[in-house]
Amino acid sequence: MSNLTRDELVALFRLAGPLIAAQLAHVLMVFTDTIMMGLLGPEQLAGGALGATCYFMLSLFCVGMVAAVGSLVAIRHGAGDAAGATRLLQNGLWLALLLGIGGALCLRSLGPLLPYLGQQPEVAARAMQLLGPLALALPGYLAFMALRGFTSAIGHPGPVMTIGLAGAAANLLINYALIRGWFGLPRLGLAGIGLTTALVSSGMALALALYILRAPVYRQYRVLRGLLRPRRAELGALLRLGLPIGGTYAAEQGMFSFATLCMGALGSVQLAAHQIALQAVTLAFILPQGLSYAVTYRVGQHLGAGHPALLRRAGRLGIASGAACMLVFALLFWLLPEPVIGLFVDRHDPAFAEVVSLAVGLLAVAAVFELFDGTQSIAMGTIRGLGDGKTTLLVGLGCYWLIGIPLAWGLAFPLGWGAHGVWWGLAAGLACAALGLSLGFEAKCARLLRRARREPAAEGCPA
């Protein structure tokens, strides 16, 4: 291993470590919510799964748009432009506020539409019990993500990790208190789960904002100066990159949401098993997702500094590291599925016998597509780091919607494979995306290197 490779790996994992921990904190919040739904019973779990899917479908599009903050700040940071990074954060917060308010209004209006999507009326009603208060989490969550992208892109991810882990602990405590009625609190059921997420998300955003305003390391950025004056240039740059990133996130989540709708049409047992297996996959996805953000920022920093060879090295190392991590989880799902499922529900409870049996089979399929899922996530991060969202969108739409979704439906219903067919369709879409995005990154790196040879003074400069 060369010194350059070793140095890049150290820098990459020094940035990735806190981001992985922060991602773990976020997943722990979702994990906690799933456990609380399970405590309420199989019917509440099914309704909660539907409501959570609707929330994450919309929130992921918004998060994708806000992710442009970190990508563009990393490029400005690499170029030594602190003022430009500050302007991007300020306008990113405006974007987060507008998206959060609009998204919350949309979520609270979904109730009458769910039965028309093939969902049973009683399941749809339970979903709205969760979604009503959960929609209020969106503004705070998006503001936190904008702040998180900024501080991580300039090389200070530690506060994100600390606040994220504290938020996960608070989410567990408040959730359990509202489920069990501790401290004289009312037992709010699914509504309590949504309300807890809203309170914790807003608190995390406030805590990170206060830290950035008060810590000396951020003094040069002067975040408050000009905050109340949105700038058209920065908002335009964020939208040009954020819209296709958000579209890519939505396309991928749309494939998984379509799978959830298919499961709902198959029955409550299939829907509950799908939710449990999906949460196990999400837990495994912590490492590549956190690593993906780190790769985005490292690639962006090298791009801003004009080092195309280093950005290619960072991207390749990230993709290889992610694939190695997911191989470990694939073996775990294949060899020990029942203990994994036991993290979410009591697998010895007769009430969950059918759900557990089906979830075991779904994890066997997940063992196959975990490798593809990790690879495509990090490859997507490398392309975001180059300031390009259009490539990820085109590849995502083609692989998720033209391959994954048709196969999921075709295998599940016309061919009669049921729940397993849905998951094999997901695997095919992810495999296609992993290949397409990896090749796309290599092609872009080759163009940057050719340009650097022709124009040494402008090598790697962002457009």
pLDDT tens series, the chain, 463 aa: 677 888 898 999 999 999 999 988 987 888 788 778 877 777 777 788 788 878 877 888 899 999 999 999 999 999 999 999 999 999 999 999 999 999 999 888 887 777 766 677 777 777 787 888 888 999 999 999 999 999 999 999 999 999 999 999 999 988 888 877 777 777 777 888 888 999 999 999 999 999 999 999 999 999 999 898 899 999 999 999 999 999 998 888 789 878 988 988 888 888 888 888 887 887 888 889 899 999 999 999 999 999 999 999 999 999 999 888 888 888 888 888 888 888 777 777 777 788 888 888 899 888 888 888 889 999 999 999 999 999 999 999 999 999 999 999 999 999 989 999 999 999 999 999 999 999 999 999 999 999 888 875 444 444 3
Residue by residue, what is the 3-state secondary structure of 90-148?
Answer: HHHHHHHHHHHHHHHHHHCCCHHHHHHHCCCHHHHHHHHHHHHHHHHHHHHHHHHHHHH
In terms of Cα–Cα distance, which of 18, 5, 74, 14 is closest to 316? 5
Q: Is residue 176 part of a domain?
A: yes
DSSP 404: I
d(CA 66, CA 413): 37
pLDDT at 146: 97
DSSP 461: -
Q: Is residue 390 part of a domain?
A: yes
d(CA 437, CA 242): 18
d(CA 138, CA 97): 9
Residue in the block written with tokens 């094999």: 424
CA distances from 156 to 247, 264, 288, 323, 355 (A): 28, 42, 19, 26, 43
Q: Is residue 463 part of a domain?
A: no
Q: Is residue 78 part of a domain?
A: yes
Give the dihedral sign, CA 290/156/172/62. Answer: negative
Q: Is residue 43 part of a domain?
A: yes
Q: pTM of the prediction?
A: 0.86
Residues 6+ apart with CB under 8 A from 383: 389, 391, 392, 437, 440, 441, 444
Q: Is residue 377 part of a domain?
A: yes
End-to-end CA distance of the chain: 33
The full DSSP string for 179-242 is HHTGGG----THHHHHHHHHHHHHHHHHHHHHHHHH-GGGGGG-TTTTTTS--HHHHHHHHHHH
The domain in which residue 438 lies consists of 3-458
Residue in the block written with tokens 């994100």: 160
Buried b (16+ CB within 10 A) or exposed e, 170-196: bbbebbbbbbeeeeeeeebbbbbbbbb
What is the number of structural domains in the chain? 1
CA angle 53–54–60, rounded 5-degree value: 85
pLDDT at 178: 82
Q: Is residue 108 part of a domain?
A: yes
